[in-house]
Amino acid sequence: MPNVLTPDIIRVTTPQTNIRCGVGESPIWIAHEAAWYWVDITAKTIWRLDARSGAVSSWNTAEMIGCMSPQASGGFIAGMESGLFHLNLVAGGIVDAQHLAAPATSEIGMRFNDGRCDRQGRFWSGTMLIDMSVPRAAGHLYRYTKEQGISAPFISNLFVQNGLAWSPDGRTMYLSDSHPNSQLIWAFDYDTDSGTPHNQRLFVDMKTMDGRPDGAAIDIDGCYWICANDAGLILRFTPEGKLDRQIAVPMKKPTMCCFGGEKLDTLMVASIAAGQAADDEWAGATILLNPGIQGYAETAFAG
């Protein structure tokens, strides 16, 4: 018989039990603030949780925001509907948004989705059709730097770009496609000097597993943690692509995870409420759990 991994059951806590995100995404830990951030894409909202006091704040954006990363000079870089933006979150729920760049060619009905920085501080994000029911691979993966602006597409023919992450040494890049027509995770060799991925290869085919690959994180062992959307699981793969651990979470549709906390040993997991039963108290929740291992800190945008 094949070796079947039994999911770990780990105690979880909700940052704020009355917050339910239509499409929760992009959790971030900001160490110097001791605070967590995440977004609700469909509600056009950015949330903040103060880890010390438990206080929760929010800001509304003019467009749907798919992802954001801290910027070394202050504020955030974000992927939205009409392009990439620099965001400053002002008191009173006000967002000061400065448009940075947009793809040279982009069709109506698309937005940026998953995004984060490589270990050198270059920002990467991909586009997708907002209507996921349209089975068309119209998405592209882009790189953005302050000096060079937005790149031409590095990877094309993506349905729902997701799962971006880099190994601790930055020399391996990971990318997934969440759409039911794909459900693949790829690995690339990554040139840290030029910021160029090459040697694309299949890392994991999740069509043979429970759930679809969504957002991801890296731990200090270089293992790749990815949310298994539709399955209520967080999966950990070794650098060789072997599934060696899975954690059950109380939400059916976890979207993205991020390591943080004072010792980087806490995992924040966002999720989706849209399409779930109205009486499902966990649908759309954003939870904190302790998986028993430290994660790797995310790099800020070097702009």
- Alpha carbon distance 286, 289 (integer Å): 10
The mean per-residue pLDDT over the stretch 162-168 comes to 97
Homologous superfamily in CATH for domain 8-289:
TolB, C-terminal domain (2.120.10.30)
The reported pLDDT for the residue numbered 14 is 54
Q: What is the mean pLDDT of residues 6-16?
A: 59
According to the model, what pLDDT value does residue 251 have?
92
Strand duo 8-9 + 243-248: pairing: parallel
For 52, the token pair is 């010390």
Alpha carbons within 13 A on the beta-carbon side of 194: 8
Catalytic status, residue 8: no
> Does residue 1 carry a pLDDT above 50?
no
- Reported as a pLDDT band with limits 50, 70 and 90, residue 2 is very low
- Mean of pLDDT over the chain: 92
Mean pLDDT of 32-53: 95
**In this model, does residue 167 exceed pLDDT 60?**
yes
The single residue of 189, 214, 279, 280 carrying the catalytic annotation is 214
Which has more pLDDT, 193 or 2? 193
- Give the CA-trace dihedral at 43, 49, 54, 59, to 10 degrees: -50
- The per-residue pLDDT for 7 is 65
**pLDDT tens readout for residues 104-162:** 877 789 999 999 999 999 999 999 999 888 888 999 999 999 999 999 999 999 999 99
pLDDT digits (tens, 9 = 90+) for 184-234: 999 999 999 999 999 999 999 999 899 999 999 999 999 999 999 999 999
233-245, pLDDT tens digit by residue?
A: 999 999 999 999 9
Domain spans in the chain, listed from the N-terminal domain onward: 8-289
Identify the top-confidence range among 17-26, 196-205, 285-294: 196-205
7/233 Cα distance (integer angstroms): 8
